[in-house]
Structures are given as C-alpha cells and as structure tokens.
Amino acid sequence: DQQVKQNSPSLSVQEGRISILNCDYTNSMFDYFLWYKKYPAEGPTFLISISSIKDKNEDGRFTVFLNKSAKHLSLHIVPSQPGDSAVYFCAARSGNTPLVFGKGTRLSVIA
C-alpha cells in the first residue's frame, strides 16, 4: 500500500511556463512534507518543505501548496527553466518516523 503517490510519471513543460507537480498521500498522521529533486547519477537534493500547520511555502521560483482535507500537495515552479529538468520526489513523515517517498515525476523543460 503506497502511502505517498505521484500519479504522473512524467511531465513536459515549455521554458518560461509553470510546472505543476502533484502528490497525494493516504496517511493523515503525516505532519511534514518535502520535495526532492534528483539529477541522473546523483542523490536526491532537498528542494522545499512544508509543515502540516501551513498551506503554502514559497522559496524563489518554487512554491509548495498543501491541502490537508484532500491529502494533496503540489509543487509549482515558475518560470520553468531547462535546468529544472530532473526527477522530483514527494516525501512525507510523521513525528520521527522514516520519510516515505513517492515514485517520482520526471520533469522535462523544453527550451
């Protein structure tokens, strides 16, 4: 049973447009959510996070939105750049339990 789901394995977006990556979760006990970005042959790199007490967190071009009632979060990248092309993982945890990851979404930003 997957607790964190990224239902879109891939996404293509034109440079300069908005990229929206989605993530759904089933465990209502999750209280902290993170997005990681992964380039080929590298480890995941932390991108942005949000606590369950908030519904939005913004860092430059990256914004994460959390909808607790829908158990849904999304990552917005605007404007998208070719260097944003990577695999994006959504992850969640509660208390001191391990991070649970989704399967990832491969973003391709086309110049």
Which of 39-47, 54-62, 63-71, 73-81 is the region at the interface with other proteins (rule: CB under 8 A)?
A: 39-47
Q: What are phi and psi of 108, to 5 degrees?
A: -120, 120
**C-alpha span between 28 and 10 (Å, rounded):** 26
Q: Which residues contact 21 (CB under 8 A, 6 or more apart)?
A: 6, 8, 11, 35, 74, 75, 77, 88, 90, 105, 107
- Which residue of 64, 73, 86, 91 would you call a contact of other proteins, by CB under 8 A? 91
- Which residue of 24, 36, 63, 75 would you call a contact of other proteins, by CB under 8 A? 36
Residue listed under structure tokens 């239902």:
7
- Which residue of 44, 63, 64, 73 would you call a contact of other proteins, by CB under 8 A? 44
Is 89 one of the binding residues for other proteins (CB under 8 A)?
yes
- DSSP, res 42: S
Is 34 one of the binding residues for other proteins (CB under 8 A)?
yes
Is 75 one of the binding residues for other proteins (CB under 8 A)?
no
**C-alpha span between 3 and 19 (Å, rounded):** 24
- Which residue of 10, 28, 45, 67 would you call a contact of other proteins, by CB under 8 A? 45
Interface residues toward other proteins, by CB under 8 A: 4, 31-32, 34, 36, 41-46, 49, 51, 89, 91, 93-99, 101-104
